[in-house]
Structure formats: structure tokens, C-alpha cells
Structure 1
Amino acid sequence: MSRPIWSSPWQPGPAAEPSGGADPVTVNITEFTAHRPLDAAKVLVAGVMLRRTWPRTAGAVGMWLWMEAGPLRPRSGSVSLWRDRARLQDFVGRPDHLRIVRAFRDKGDLRSATWTSSESRPDVLWGPVHRILSGLDPWPLGPEVPEEGVAGP
């Protein structure tokens, strides 16, 4: 049986549009599965600290932090929306982000998926993302997620 996925409230970024907008967005999911529960707590705190700068991150549409608690292999990560892949790459290369990646490099397993979506409303996107994180839908393997009505061409 799957454990519940908890998420932070949606946090809009500077590129968010009040109505969700009609332009495509880049969606990115990251997942960190810790080898030890203590490391899971530490990476979650690091993510919360990084989230503080989110409202000033160029090209950021919005994000959620998420976690699935478990006694042996807790998981946590983020779901973020970007105006385009270049803005996501800018964020990935930021010194504060790289510091977290390096600090936890050998302390768990990291995976991510990125795709373009014609849908940018958080209330609509969370459903398909939650299905992936819950294991109800397969984790995306290719560069685009073939979800009808969510992924763009």
C-alpha cells in the first residue's frame, strides 16, 4: 500500500500569471530517496531554505515541495513550473542549488523528469503529477510525458 504524498502549498514565482496563462510551461519533477531517514529530513530542510528565494527566481511560474514519509526509505522532492527550459537550467546551475546537490550526492538516489505542458494551472497539473509520485502512473522516461491533455507536443 502506498503512503500519502504530502505537499507544500503552491508557491507562485515571478513568471506566474493570475489565471494560469495559455502559454506552454516546462514542468520538472525531482525525487530524492534517502538511504537514511536522517538524510531525508536534512534534504527536506535544505529544500525549504531554497524555496525562500523562489519568489525572486527569473522564469519561475511556481512550485510545490513534496514528501512521502517512511521509516526506511523516505522520499522528497519538488515539482516546479518554468517559462522555458533555459530558466530551469539557470536554476539548476545556481550555487545554492548546486551546494544542496553536492551535499547529498552519495546519500540517496535522485531522479528527475522534465516535459513541456500546454497546461499551466496548478490545480490541473497537480493531479497527473500526484499520480506519477504515487506510482499510479509510470515515472516518465523520455523527454516528453505523453499524458493526454497535459503534455504539449
Structure 2
Amino acid sequence: MLRSGWCQGPAGGSLGDRAAVAGADSGLRGHRSGPLIVSVTDFTSDAYRALPGIARRGFALRRRWPHLDGAVGMWLWVVPSARRCGAVSVWTGRQALAKFVRLPEHVAIMDEYRERGTTRSVLLEYENFDAARIRRDAEAWLMSDDRCRAARGAPRQSG
């Protein structure tokens, strides 16, 4: 799995890329109410030829990240051999995530690619910011998918 660097949002305080990778606490406890919400998205394209466009659109949307209210930060990820890509995004709450999902740029990407593959997602809640744990939990969820195990050559789960 290839991952982008941590892209900090305005709610990320003074947390930098090195602290995010190390799992340092960003001091968000004093700047939020309620748990942090983590959205993990996984898009599997029907065709390899769609991946460059998806990546280009994802990185364009990522440039807005430092200006999105409630955004703590995010990573983009890709598994080219499995035609998969997505994001792990951290939010101060469900309302902030909902505002992002409704952004015209996000809606346009979803509209353009919805019929070109399969999307799955999960929301996770954390009481405090621990980047290493969030990343580990997100990757475990992503790797739990049969398509990813098949790409790694691991046996599929039955049932």
C-alpha cells in the first residue's frame, strides 16, 4: 500500500507530518467536543485506466484540506495492483465530515466514478488523536477485504 504524507487540516493544531507518523497526541482534547471521527474510504476501480484520473481528482481535492472546518488531517492511499485507492480522514465530528461529503468537488468526483467501480467505507470513533493507531486500524480494515487478500496472494475467507 502506498500512502501520501499526512495533510493537516485547520483543526489539527500544530501537529506536523513527523508527529502524525510517530503517533504523537496533537493536543486536540482542548479544541473539540466529543470523539474524533475517522472516515476510511476504499474505491476499487473496474479498470486500471480510471486510476490516474481518480488520483488526480483526489490530490486536487486534498489541496483544499488546510481550509476545511473540522478537518484534523488525512492520508491518501493506493494499491495499484488491486486497482484500489481511497482516503483516511480525521474529523472533529460528524457534522464536519458531512459538510465535506456535500462539497461540490467531492460530489462531482463521486458522480463521475460511482459507476466505474465499487466503493466501501467505515466510520471509526476515537477519544483522542493517535495517528499510529488510526493508521493501523484503517489499514487492518482495508486489508480485511477479500479483494486485497487476493491481490496479496492470501487465501480468501469463505462464508
Relative to the length of structure 1, the TM-score reads 0.79
Q: CA deviation at 1:135?
A: 2.4
- The 4+ residue runs of structure 1 with deviation greater than 3 A are none
Structure 2 unaligned segments of length 5 or more: list them: 15-24, 146-159
How many Å separate the matches in 1 of 2:140 and 2:121? 15
Q: Following superposition of structure 1 onto structure 2, how do residues 68-147 of structure 1 map, counting pairs within 5 Å?
A: 68-70=79-81, 73-135=82-144
Q: CA RMSD in A?
A: 1.5
1:41 corresponds to: 52
Structure 2: which amino acid aligns with 1:59? G
What is the CA distance between 1:105 and its match in structure 2?
1.4
- Aligned partner of 2:6 in structure 1 is 10
The one-letter code sitting in structure 2 at the alignment partner of 1:27 is V
Over alpha carbons, which structure has the higher Rg?
A: 2
- 1:31 partnered with 2:42: yes
| Maintained 8 Å contact 1:33/1:40 | no
What CA deviation, in whole Å up to 9, does each residue of 1:28-51 have, x standing for no partner? 011110000011221111101100
Of Structure 1 and Structure 2, the greater helix share is in 2
Q: Contact 1:119 / 1:125 at 8 angstroms: preserved in 2?
A: no
Q: How many pairs align? A: 130
Normalised TM-score (structure 2): 0.77
Identity rate, percent: 32
Letter in 2 for 1:117: Y
